[in-house]
Amino acid sequence: MLTLYDFPLSGNCYKIRLFLALIEKDYQSIEIKLQEGETTQLSFLKLNPRGQVPVIDDEGEIIWDSMAILVYLARGYADRTWFPDDALDQARVMQWLAVSENEVLYGLARARGIRLFNRPFDPDECNAMGLAALKLLDDQLSQHEWLATDQPTIADIACYPYVALAPEGGIELTPYPAVLAWIKRIRALPGYVTMPGLD
């Protein structure tokens, strides 16, 4: 069975839990205690030399990084709509995966990290980048129901957690109606699961 090395408050881990639920893939979860430094221990670094969660172990195949895990799961276990075969659709998915790893991460996720985990980031810089991310998303979603194609893809799953958790970082979503409508669409997907901070 697939094993997920997990941390409940991590948006990146939640991406994987959410996608596994949406594609109805069974797995077992091992909670990693970040505050106790488990990701710095040699046993964990053998799984991921970067010392980060999430990590999956799929029958001995170790994959780390949430974006890489989403691609792996989409290709190995999901309907092709989640990560299409068409070159143009694939490129569009990858564009928004890049946004999830840049503007969303360095803006919205880090703003939340400052408030929840006392992380040493620059609040003004995080807020500015977070607002830029939301504008980018809102502009796209005001014209399209989903980020990359006419159906939900792993691009939506990658961007969703830290966008939906933005208020925990002090960034309100009210000025972004298209983003709020997209959040509702994701929450209506069959199999959707939540995480702490989203209720």
Show Cβ contacts of residue 143 under 8 Å, excluding neighbours closer than 6 positions: none
Q: How confident is the model at residue 30 (pLDDT cuts 50, 70, 90)?
A: very high
Least confident stretch, 26-40, 65-79, 120-134, 160-174: 26-40
Residue 11, number of CB atoms within 10 A of its CB: 27
Q: Which CATH number is 120's domain given?
A: 1.20.1050.10
Per-residue pLDDT of 132-146, as tens digits, reads: 999 999 999 999 999
Q: How confident is the model at residue 23 (pLDDT cuts 50, 70, 90)?
A: very high
Residues written for the chain: 199
Does residue 197 form part of some domain? no
Same domain, 20 and 94: no
pTM of the model: 0.96
Same domain, 106 and 155: yes
Residue 25: what are its φ and ψ, rounded to 5°?
A: -100, 120
From CA 38, how far away is CA 91, in angstroms rounded? 36
25, 46, 79 - which closes a domain: 79
Does residue 139 form part of some domain? yes
Q: Is the dihedral of CA 2, 100, 183, 8 positive or negative?
A: positive
79, 105, 131 - which closes a domain: 79
From CA 84, how far away is CA 74, in angstroms rounded? 9
Per-residue pLDDT of 70-95, as tens digits, reads: 999 999 999 999 999 999 999 999 99
Same domain, 130 and 89: yes
Same domain, 71 and 92: no
Over residues 54-83, mean pLDDT: 97
Same domain, 72 and 131: no
Does residue 192 form part of some domain? no
Does residue 49 form part of some domain? yes
From CA 112, how far away is CA 110, in angstroms rounded? 5
Same domain, 100 and 75: no
Same domain, 9 and 87: no
Provide the residue range defining the domain that includes 19: 2-79
Contact 99, 154 (CB under 8 A): no
When divided into structural domains, the chain yields a total of 2
Query: At 70, is the secondary structure helix, strand, or coil?
Result: helix
Q: In Å, how far are 4, 57, 96, 160 from 27, measured between CA atoms?
A: 7, 10, 26, 21
